[in-house]
Amino acid sequence: MKKICVFGGLFVLMCTLVGCDGKTKSNPEADSLRSELRAQMEAMDEMSLFLDAVNVSMDSVIGMEGGILRTSGESPLSQKEQIKQNIESYKLILQQQHERLDVLEKKLKDSNAYAGKMQKTIAALKKQLEEKDQAIVNLTTELEQRNFDIAALKENVQRLNIEVADLVEDTRAKSDSIDKQDAQLNEAYVFIGSKKELKAAGLAQGGTLFKKLKFDASNVDKKLFQKIDIRKSTKFTIPDDDAEVLTQMPADSYKITKTGDDSSELIITDPAQFWSVTRVLVIRY
């Protein structure tokens, strides 16, 4: 509206330079005034077009601002590098806008046309650009800070993973050691054989008419025995219905039950008491 009023004023001024018969007055003063008027109009048109271009560019700045944090999974760059690249492009556009405003402001200093209105417009645009500049600074700082936090977090995670791996390995080693010790604490050795087999293995003496067969603990070769876990083995099958325990097991901690014409079974009724004296069990059948 103000632009129309200014052009209206200029039109009235032109009319004063033209006679009532429509003929242009021809004198040096009028010619000079007409030339000045023409120059002012051309300057105003030029600055109006330039200002329109600046406004269009500002729209592109605002449009690009929304895409700074937009990244593509197809890009070979990391998300952080893509954002950095977007920021640099945005900074370049802001710099171009600053340069355009500087050019427009310089033109205004050489002319009073539209001075008041355009200076206010330029001031408003400059303020917007300064806000965008600060936003870029803040975003860049935040991006670097986040990168630092992520790097620190990754380092902590790696350290914790190493510590956890070491702890797991240490726990596994201790667990294996405990299992091994536990197995050793609960292992026992069993030999079930006939009188002949026991003597051949060096595990028994006697067995004659005048001397009872006894277990010989002085010559125990555990390789000849079956190793068992006392927590799991509580019954032993004997291939004869006549069986005798030669080792010193408490009599009230087990029983031998006949299971057939030629078989029997030793059942441990009190494991703790049964294995309290020795971890070697020798059965004669």
Please give the pLDDT value at position 54: 59
Instruction: Examine the pLDDT at 99 and tell me if it is beyond 70.
Output: yes
Please give the pLDDT value at position 3: 43
What torsion do the CA atoms of 208, 209, 212, 213 make, to the nearest 10 degrees?
30
Decide which of 37 and 207 is more confident: 207
Please give the pLDDT value at position 70: 63
Instruction: For residues 255-259, give the mean pLDDT.
Output: 96
Pick the most confident of 35-39, 82-86, 211-215.
Answer: 211-215
Please give the pLDDT value at position 121: 75
pLDDT tens digits for 164-179? 788 788 888 888 888 8
Instruction: Examine the pLDDT at 10 and tell me if it is beyond 50.
Output: no
pLDDT tens digits for 17-43? 444 444 444 567 666 766 766 666 666
Distance CA 191, CA 62 (A): 92
Please give the pLDDT value at position 20: 44
Instruction: For residues 261-277, give the mean pLDDT.
Output: 96
Main-chain dihedrals φ then ψ at residue 168, nearest 5 degrees: -60, -45
Instruction: Examine the pLDDT at 162 and tell me if it is beyond 80.
Output: yes
Place of tokens 């009532």: 20
Instruction: Examine the pLDDT at 198 and tell me if it is beyond 80.
Output: yes
Integer Rg of the chain from CA: 54
Instruction: Examine the pLDDT at 62 and tell me if it is beyond 90.
Output: no
Distance CA 83, CA 71 (A): 7
Distance CA 227, CA 245 (A): 17
- Beta strand segments in the chain, E: 187-193, 204-205, 214-215, 226-229, 235-238, 244-245, 254-260, 263-268, 280-284
Q: What is the mean pLDDT of the chain?
A: 78
Instruction: For residues 229-250, give the mean pLDDT.
Output: 96
Collapsing DSSP states into helix, strand and coil, what is residue 168? helix
Distances (CA, A) of 251 to 160, 213, 240, 264, 268: 57, 18, 20, 17, 10
CB neighbour burial string for 127-142, b if at least 16 within 10 angstroms, e if fewer: eebeebeeebeebeee
Please give the pLDDT value at position 228: 97
The amino acid sitting at 81 is E
Distance CA 258, CA 236 (A): 12
Quote helix, strand, coil % in the chain, to nearest 5. Answer: 60, 15, 25
Lowest mean pLDDT among 57-61, 89-93, 183-187, 211-215: 57-61
Is residue 3 within 8 Å of residue 113, measured between CB atoms?
no
Distance CA 166, CA 160 (A): 10
pTM of the predicted structure, to 2 decimals: 0.45
Query: Residue 272's CB: how many other CB atoms inside 10 A?
Result: 9
Please give the pLDDT value at position 235: 98
Lowest mean pLDDT among 25-29, 34-38, 121-125, 133-137: 25-29
Is residue 95 within 8 Å of residue 57, measured between CB atoms?
no
Q: How confident is the model at residue 95 (pLDDT cuts 50, 70, 90)?
A: confident
Residues in the chain: 285
